[in-house]
Amino acid sequence: MNKRERVLAAMNNQLVDRPPVGFWFHFTGEKGMGQACVQAHLDYYNHIDVDIVKVMCDGYFPYPIEETITCAADWRKLKPLPADHPFIEEQVARAKAIRAGLRDDMCMFYNVFAPFSYIRFGSSEELVMRTLREDPDAVMAALDAIGQSCVTLARRLCTEGTCDGLYYCVQGGEKNRFTPEEYRKYITPSDKLVLEGINPLTDNNILHCCGWAGDANNLEVWRDYPVKCFNWAAFIENLSVPEGKRFFGGKCVLAGFDNRVSGPLFSGNRQQIEALTDALLDETQGLPGIMLGADCTLPAEVDVQHFQWVEDAVKRRFA
């Protein structure tokens, strides 16, 4: 199988010659924007023999909130971005350029944040949570507008940018932030708006249940989201790969490696990383729909040769 065939088969719980492997990290400094960012992606994906391309949205974390927001009612002024807004245009251009420069025919996914993340990145955590308590409907109206912008971005990424799907990052499900009922009431509608807007075009989407805060999430709020593959913080959630596959209804899962500096993937030697890979392959033997990856983005200082050691171990196992 080639890389594209392997990933699509795994996402559909079909037989594969070996589990696909994918890891990623942020590109910082001058590599975070423009042509330097494109080249940084190509230098990585054309050098390390992984199966999955995930295009980072570095430089585009803050959503462009052009209205002045001082009170909850101000959120109602927020409108969806036009399709030619630089926030959209520039990300589509990044995806197109990376696709054009890839050495192999690989499935390419673009990192798109859910509206609840974008609204906080574009304003502040304090403002969003305060106004959500004051007037939930006003904040939900803003989340809906941002969600419509996400759909526009995602559609252009998959048509013009030739991405195969989204790596859709949901956040805010920490147990100390919302109850499951609160999250489903206030945040889930905008989460699903994006997926339901893009699924008719491509349903090859990965849901990243982000453990960014280091706190356990109410994972149950995401388990019914309409995606083909789930990625979660297995080590923060204390939910192993086989357990996660059962939890998410038997769908394809992308998991297995701790992304933190303390984890073997970042700080281990070749013997330790290969041993961990072998243990994961033993743990998931016989299960369809397994892709090997990390809990989240690796620190930018990671030695990418560590990813090659994982790939090499998988190839030896299935030679």
How many domains does the chain fold into?
1
Q: Which two tokens stand for residue 55?
A: 């295009």
Query: Contact 51/20 with Cβ under 8 angstroms?
Result: yes
State which H helix or E strand residue 216 sits in: none
pLDDT score for 292: 98
Give the residue-averaged pLDDT of 154-178. Answer: 97
pLDDT score for 288: 97
The C-alpha atoms of residue 249 and residue 246 are separated, in whole angstroms, by: 5
**CATH value at residue 76:** 3.20.20.210
Q: Which two tokens stand for residue 199?
A: 């699924």
Which residues fall within 8 angstroms of residue 315, CB to CB, at 6 or more apart?
A: 18
Report how far apart the first and last C-alpha atoms of the chain are (Å, whole number).
Answer: 13
Which residues fall within 8 angstroms of residue 15, CB to CB, at 6 or more apart?
A: 9, 288
What range does the domain containing 303 cover? 3-317
Give the residue-averaged pLDDT of 73-100. Answer: 98
- What distances in angstroms separate CA 141 from CA 30, 43, 224, 225, one per listed residue? 35, 41, 23, 21
Give the residue-averaged pLDDT of 180-205. Answer: 97
How many Cα atoms sit within 13 Å of 279 on the Cβ side? 11
Give the residue-averaged pLDDT of 57-74. Answer: 96
Whether pLDDT at 159 is above 90: yes
pLDDT score for 121: 97
Report the percentage of the chain scoring pLDDT > 70.
100
The C-alpha atoms of residue 314 and residue 60 are separated, in whole angstroms, by: 34
pTM beyond 0.85, yes or no = yes
Residue 213: pLDDT band with limits 50, 70, 90: confident
